Amino acid sequence: MSIVALDVGDRTIGVAASDELGLTAQGLGTIWRKGDRHDFPALLALVGEREVDRWIVGWPLNMDGSEGPRAEKTRRFARRLQDHVSAPVLLWDERLSTFEAENVLREGGVRARERKAVVDMLAAQVILQSYLAAGAPEKGERP
């Protein structure tokens, strides 16, 4: 069983999955969004044969913890995802995950152009690692 995490943006979806023990997060890739008819099949193809125990969707709350327009868009995406998968879908606070991912890439000397291709996947890893560090709670915010 594995846990899959998503960093959902308007143009891309970063995807990461846990190892079988649920200790570490590995990036799987980035999907360029083209609409639900493309996005969900592409996502399921990228995840492949993994037996997914739960799906974690990064929830972009405001810094004060409130839910703004971006968080509501993400909640709607998570609801649609739940229609395509059998494992539970949970929202997970992702504040500053993309910022952290950008910093890691910048400090690693990755050029700006190359960062664009992997930043969302790395942000999904950051989200998943945060979730795993919290003990991978089975209950969380439902979409």
CATH of the domain at 43: 3.30.420.140
Q: Average pLDDT of the chain? A: 87
- Provide the pLDDT confidence category of residue 30 given band limits of 50, 70 and 90: very high
Range of the domain at 27: 2-133
Look at residue 61 and tell me if it is in a domain: yes
Report the alpha-carbon distance of residue 121 to residue 139 in Å, rounded.
24
- pLDDT tens for residues 60-88? 988 888 888 999 999 999 999 999 999 99
Look at residue 104 and tell me if it is in a domain: yes
Residue 52 is predicted with a pLDDT of 95
End-to-end Cα separation, the chain, in angstroms: 22
Report the alpha-carbon distance of residue 63 to residue 48 in Å, rounded.
35
Provide the number of structural domains found in the chain.
Answer: 1
- Provide the pLDDT confidence category of residue 99 given band limits of 50, 70 and 90: low
* pTM metric for this prediction: 0.86
